[in-house]
Structure 1
């Protein structure tokens, strides 16, 4: 914006040749967060931990559930899967809805229904009601994750503090996956299967009491309307894709999951095309023009794919090949989970010093090394290699979780942080589904090619009556071969992504300058757009604004 000339003095004649001095707007530094913000972070972490725990806590309880409710095989699968399907398919929709109607309001509604769903699940008298309760918990969980991330972006206006808060957020979310089976195992030692759901209620109650006190409401300055076709297309497309991928892993190239995935992809394609035409899109696709943002999202999807596949296959390896108990196998994952949690917290400090480029390089190369440490595993032993693998790869996973969440939320103004956070969380869910579907299918293919032609999976083979010990050993060896192939494939993929990061992402100095300039630019654009909206509401119909936007832009000193 050009400045107007200085007011004329009554004692000094006009100077027509005097240059006009542009105004320079100094962007004030964001205010550092105080104790209340950090207490608000602790309050937000409760529901986040529950959402991630409930994705894994039911695995140990399923044998007890099966004894009590006697579900069919299909019902058992739906009890396990419906929660993840609901969370993954609705993240984008609820991220945008929270931006429009208030994150705190959506958090409180979501937490309330998460608690109701937990109570219904704990006392469900039939498989059908348990499936319905788990679906309600999944829908509620989808409201909590993006809104919680968006609330953090408002609590912590300072970029460094926000990055550290999001690192703690990522640590809590990652820790939930690891401690879910352990908490479930401890509860099942003393109580009935419904206790794994009732443990959620005190945390939800505490959140509902403290959230209105410590968390402030934030709404978009230009909310627009929620586009119902976009909500349905995004939710339906993601649900069908995730369902198709998971069932491709379980059933192979069956017609139903292939059709489901194809229809889901078509819906998502229509959804993407529609977003480009909307004035207030549900998902801002222009974010993907930012190279660092795009690579960060990829760096969230691929490690989750590797993690989910490795965790699933390693669980089978420990229990069905090495004959360890479920709880023993879960406890072996604790060292890696601790490493992952600590790394999520310290990663923002490392990013401050070395930049996101170096962090993402380290992420992919460390995950690659960790996965390759599974190669020496054998049918006779490999616990040490497994623990070492989870610890080394855990460093990479921790970097990924922290950097991806901060990059997504930091790429947009605070009023759109829910939508951006939903992109990051959705990439995690899709990565999880892809890992089980693609890498799990690769392991199954190796098993079918090298194992005894008795059953399509190791567990089914081991449960066949009258097997000779040599056949059992051959089946276990074939499964270990599949595990090695998956570890090698995923490790090489991460190494390739590390090379791509080296060539594609800007170096730390340029990245830091570009990031600061981009944040100032976004703040300036949002401020100008808000002023234009207010001026437009007072302008007579048909009257044009005074000048093009570029002429109304002030210099910004970061």
Structure 2
């Protein structure tokens, strides 16, 4: 039983990890149906999508530190219970405001799960080789959750109502709560410090205020109060960074970023997830609302990319050991930049083969990003900082997921508002306008496609730039990270 316990414990941990990742993407295909029933505004639609990611991302580091002090298993168990309860409530939300609030609560619960789950692996696998393998499986599961979220949603929506995408969390949570006390053990840091409450508040408030200002500007244009709040959010984030430099136990250890490879790895966790979330969300709307595909068909089109992404996560650690982290980072950004270009061939009447080709090519880059970030973060710090380092890695993923929809989604929304027929703030709402003439329908779809193309072009250029930056910042003889 002793030899089986670590692997059984890993299986139990992977359940909540899969759910947290899935819930970052599971609403992409749900939004047209959800919009038809709850009638959210354009900025409410974006909040429904990304408040979860912001809640997870802004609190991951805090809960990573808190788990070091209170006990990671204790926090993991409490978080799983809260995640299950909030998921059940979200499935029956009656208004956009209720759903936004419950998605935020799910994000808070998710923030307790990820760093604690990864840190508990250290207790399960004291052997370095087995631990590296377990972390690779962890990363693959996390990546698979993001990738299969829309696929699972599509299958559920073909049979049930939109709230069913949250109810599927409950069986996994129940199994975890029943088995975790028998298979997992409590883990605490050797020298816990103090959690700086002001840093926790500043990181969360700064992110939310900044994104509120950006999204309101894109969806509704300039207004004094939202703009002021956005600027205030930027000021709070600046103060947060300054404060970390003077704390004995900072929420974010900025000294880790003195290592250029570590910095590039964290950026590789942030930017690809921003690209993936934004393009997956916009492409899902294109397939359903522009091309009028059934939700089940749209979900099945994402399967090849999901399979390739998961396999890449599993194979990347061995490839990095054989070549180098530098090669992995350059390959990641190059493939994403090249793989996004086929999406420029999507139009108001077709482009499905180009969509599938894009998801397969970019999936390799996205899979590399998951694996490199997790390995680099855990290997770069002492064991007693594993929770905090893991939180930084997962924070880059979760913030990337949320920022992609918030910033890039807002860019697409801005272009739609400026070039569309002016009937509503989103394509789905515009197409639901009573007695909509064919020319207005065509104008709305064309405006959405234009926003998609501009967003894709920007993201591809960013990744091409990161590939060049990686080449300049690192040397060919750079040793591979374990």
Q: TM-score, normalised by structure 2?
A: 0.89
Question: Can you list the C-alpha shifts for 1:520-544, whole angstroms capped at 9, x where unaligned?
Answer: xxxxxxxxxxxxxxxxxxxxxxxxx
> 1:141: which partner in 2?
110
- Say if 2:287 is the partner of 1:301: no
Aligned counterparts of 1:334 and 1:50: Cα–Cα separation in 2: 18
Question: Can you list the C-alpha shifts for 1:21-59, whole angstroms capped at 9, x where unaligned?
Answer: xxxxxxxxxxxx954323222111100111122233345
- Say if 2:472 is the partner of 1:510: no
Q: Which runs of 4+ in 1 moved over 6 A?
A: 62-68, 74-77, 125-128
Aligned counterparts of 1:255 and 1:296: Cα–Cα separation in 2: 38
Question: Offset at 1:363?
Answer: 0.2
> 1:43: which partner in 2?
12
- Say if 2:169 is the partner of 1:200: yes
Range with greater deviation from structure 2 (251-260 or 143-152): 251-260
Q: Is residue 29–residue 284 contact of structure 2 (8 Å, CA) maintained in 1?
A: no
Q: Is residue 237–residue 266 contact of structure 1 (8 Å, CA) maintained in 2?
A: yes
Q: 1:343-354 alignment to 2 at 5 Å?
A: 343-354=312-323
> 1:151: which partner in 2?
120
Aligned length: 480
Range with greater deviation from structure 2 (218-227 or 459-468): 459-468
Question: Offset at 1:300?
Answer: 1.2
Choose the corresponding residue for 1:237, options 206, 220, 224: 206
Q: Is residue 154–residue 414 contact of structure 1 (8 Å, CA) maintained in 2?
A: no
Question: Offset at 1:299?
Answer: 1.0
Using CA pairs below 8 Å that are at least 6 residues apart, which structure has the higher relative contact order? 2
RMSD of aligned residue pairs (Cα, Å):
3.0
Question: Offset at 1:427?
Answer: 1.9
Aligned counterparts of 2:225 and 2:142: Cα–Cα separation in 1: 33
SS at match of 1:378: coil
Aligned counterparts of 1:120 and 1:454: Cα–Cα separation in 2: 33
Question: Offset at 1:417?
Answer: 1.4
Aligned counterparts of 1:464 and 1:123: Cα–Cα separation in 2: 26
Higher gyration radius (CA):
1
Aligned counterparts of 2:84 and 2:461: Cα–Cα separation in 1: 42
Aligned counterparts of 1:77 and 1:305: Cα–Cα separation in 2: 14
Question: Offset at 1:163?
Answer: 3.8
Question: Offset at 1:252?
Answer: 4.5
Question: Can you list the C-alpha shifts for 1:85-112, whole angstroms capped at 9, x where unaligned?
Answer: 3222211211111122221111111112
- Say if 2:389 is the partner of 1:420: yes
Gaps of 5+ in 2: none
Question: Can you list the C-alpha shifts for 1:232-273, whole angstroms capped at 9, x where unaligned?
Answer: 222322333344444444344444443333222222222222
Q: Is residue 90–residue 139 contact of structure 1 (8 Å, CA) maintained in 2?
A: yes
Q: Is residue 245–residue 434 contact of structure 1 (8 Å, CA) maintained in 2?
A: no
Q: 1:256-271 alignment to 2 at 5 Å?
A: 256-271=225-240
Gaps of 5+ in 1: 1-32, 517-558
Aligned counterparts of 1:65 and 1:450: Cα–Cα separation in 2: 25
Aligned counterparts of 1:490 and 1:294: Cα–Cα separation in 2: 19
- Say if 2:255 is the partner of 1:286: yes
Question: Offset at 1:457?
Answer: 4.7
Aligned counterparts of 2:431 and 2:315: Cα–Cα separation in 1: 44
> 1:92: which partner in 2?
61
> 1:340: which partner in 2?
309
